[in-house]
Copies of this chain bind each other. A is one copy, B any other.
Amino acid sequence: MTAPSALAGSAPAARTSAAPLLHPDRLFPAEPAVRAIARDLYSSVRDLPILSPHGHTDPRWYAENAPFPDPAQLFVVPDHYVFRMLYSQGVPLEELGVPRRDGGPVERDGRQIWRRFAAHYHLFRGTPTRLWLDHAFSTLFGLDERLCAGNADATYDLIAAALRTEAFRPRALFERFNIEAIATTESPLDPLKWHAMIRGSGWGGRVITAYRPDPVVDPEFEGFVGNLHAFGALTGEDTMSWRGYLAAHRKRRSFFKSFGATATDHGHPSAATADLTPAEAEALFERVKVPGVTPADAELFRAQMLTEMARLSLEDGLVMQIHPGAVRNHNAALFDRHGRDMGADIPARTDYVRALKPLLDRFGNERDLTIILFTLDETAYARELAPLAGHYPALRLGPAWWFFDSPEGMRRFRELTTETAGFANTVGFNDDTRAFPSIPARHDVARRVDCAYLARLVAEHRLDLDEAGEIAHALAYGLAKAAYKL
């Protein structure tokens, strides 16, 4: 066993790993009897199709089906999970090719980016990013040794060569990944042209959209008032009136449904909801549609709009997803330099019990409404979310999300929610990713971790094996299909 003088900073020397990149028993408990059960359960769900009802891949990929440009553009530049870790250890984002808002110079040579990435690959030890990357490296490109400075050029060449082949174009990968359906996320102002192009292409891959109305429901969103005007132009409604504004949502949701949407997505700073009278709501709308909105009015409007969206969901059947709790763009200097989604969104404490009450008082008992709750505050799982979802017919729990899309995060999710909410009040797995090659890896991790959890319950005689088999199937496939109406 080697003993370098420090872990941080300098990279370990290149080395060939004795173990293959992907052990068939990875993520299963070590105890042999439990592992055998986990293996058995996993074998029955490993090859199920992937349902990806919530994610952020780019529909343009599927529409144009162009090759991915190079290994760095595929694995490093667009993935904030990856570059945030290198940044935390002192690597400037410019050196990783992350664009600057001012168009200033950044590294454009994919090979140089890849070398920097490879030299810091040890930073990902113990993280889910490492699991996802190794999965893609191994299953897609046949790598059998760990990435490091020593093999950076060779792996770059190998991946780059593959990316130039037909088999690595987006649609081919989509099919190879065995994706039954995938949702992207678009703003109401999006013309859905890539989705139209996919439809028109005759390709059979099921790529659907989801309705994410932040630009027109959040008065603090950049260009909100202009967005309202655009919303009116797009729908032919008078979006400067409360009634016309709601009608525009109704029309646009219908348009999204025509492109397969089964869900909406709401990423507010908090879980606050409101249930104003129509007159109060209209008066609030009058205040937020002009410049100089107060933070309190902005928050109240977002809150009211969750309830309005629930009302529309009862009409049109779209499933609501509420993803609160991130303090966006925490790093002011980084935001100025590089913009949004740079790995600087930080979770904060999130209240659900009082925040959701207005919405739940209005619609919580509806059996024809599905509201899926996510959290970045794990303390809410057992204290608030499982008790709420274990009671209200309209509520379901989304899976462990974002920073918690990880083995320990998923394990905690099950341990903290199952005893109160059961399995049927959860909705299977969401990969939530913009990193295309990580999709099969993420679903595989989720299936393994859920099977490991179930295996423990079986081994401790808290569940029978046949039941665990049914549940494993539901967690991998059936629950997502039912909850998201796929």
Residue in B18, B349, B403, B470 whose CB lies within 8 Å of A3 = B470
Beyond A6-B479, A379-B383, whether A461 also contacts B19 by CB under 8 A is: yes
Q: Does A244 contact B (CB under 8 A)?
A: no
A377 to B41, CA, bound (A): 34
A158 touches B (CB below 8 Å): no
Interface centre among A2, A40, A419 (most CB of B within 10 A): A419
Does A113 count as interface, using CB distance less than 8 angstroms?
no
Which residues of A353-378 are within 8 A (CB) of B? 353-354, 357, 360-361, 364-365, 367, 376-378
**Bound form: Cα–Cα A365–B92 in Å:** 10
Determine if A420 is an interface residue (Cβ-Cβ < 8 Å): yes
A127/B409 contact (C-beta < 8 A), A333-B365, A403-B386, A460-B28 known:
no
Q: 8 Å CB contacts to B: which residues of A106-163?
A: 122-128, 131, 146
Q: Is A283 located at the chain interface by the 8 A CB criterion?
A: no
**Residue pair B331, A7 in contact (C-beta under 8 Å):** no
Are A383 and B462 in contact (CB-based, < 8 A)? no
| Contact status A483-B8, CB under 8 Å | yes
Q: Which residues of B lie under 8 Å from residue A190 when comparing CB positions?
A: none
Q: Which residue of B lies closest to A367 (CB)?
A: B90
Whether A331 and B391, one on each chain, are in contact in the complex, defined by CB atoms closer than 8 angstroms, is yes
| B30 in contact with A364 (CB, 8 Å) | no
Residues of chain B lying within 8 A (CB to CB) of residue A1: 40-41, 44, 465-466, 469
In the complex the two chains form, is B124's CB within 8 Å of A478's CB?
no
Q: Separation in Å of the A92 CB from the closest CB of chain B?
A: 9
Inter-chain contact A26/B460, CB cutoff 8 Å: yes
A206 touches B (CB below 8 Å): no
Picked from B85, B384, B475, B478, the residue with its CB within 8 Å of the CB of A348 is B384
Assembled-state Cα–Cα distance A259/B331 (Å): 36
Taking a contact as CB atoms under 8 Å apart, the answer to whether A124 and B2 are in contact is no
- Considering the complex, give the chain B residue whose CB is closest to the CB of A347: B383
Q: Tally A residues with Cβ within 8 Å of B.
A: 117
Q: Which of A69-77, A222-230, A308-316, A421-429 contacts B (4 or more CB under 8 A)?
A: A421-429
A365 touches B334 (CB 8 A): yes
- Nearest-neighbor residue (CB-CB) of A405 within chain B: B419
Q: What's the least CB distance linking A329 to chain B, in Å?
A: 11
For A452, the closest partner residue in chain B by CB is: B460
The answer on a CB contact under 8 Å between A361 and B333 is: yes
CA of A326 to CA of B467 in the docked complex: distance in angstroms?
33
Are B349 and A351 neighbours in the complex by a CB distance under 8 Å?
yes
Residue A33 interfacial (CB < 8 Å): yes
Residues of B within 8 A of A419 (CB): 126-128, 403, 406-409
Q: Chain B residues near A479 (CB, 8 Å)?
A: 6-8
- Asked whether B7 lies within 8 Å of A343 as measured between CB atoms, the reply is no
Supposing A407-B419, A422-B85, A474-B7 touch, asked if A349 and B383 sit within 8 A by C-beta, the answer is: yes
Residues on A facing B (Cβ under 8 Å): 1-9, 12, 15, 17-19, 23, 25-31, 33-34, 40-41, 44, 84-85, 87-90, 122-128, 131, 146, 327, 330-334, 343-344, 346-349, 351, 353-354, 357, 360-361, 364-365, 367, 376-379, 382-384, 386-393, 395, 403-404, 406-409, 415-416, 418-425, 456-457, 459-467, 469-471, 473-475, 478-479, 481-483
Q: Which are the 10 A-B pairs with shortest beta-carbon distances?
A: A7-B474, A1-B469, A23-B461, A26-B461, A6-B478, A30-B459, A406-B419, A126-B418, A8-B424, A3-B473
A-B contact pairs, 25 of them (CB 8 A): A1-B40, A1-B466, A4-B473, A4-B474, A7-B475, A8-B425, A8-B474, A15-B466, A19-B465, A25-B460, A30-B456, A30-B460, A87-B393, A88-B392, A122-B467, A126-B462, A127-B422, A331-B360, A334-B365, A344-B391, A378-B379, A379-B383, A408-B416, A408-B419, A409-B419
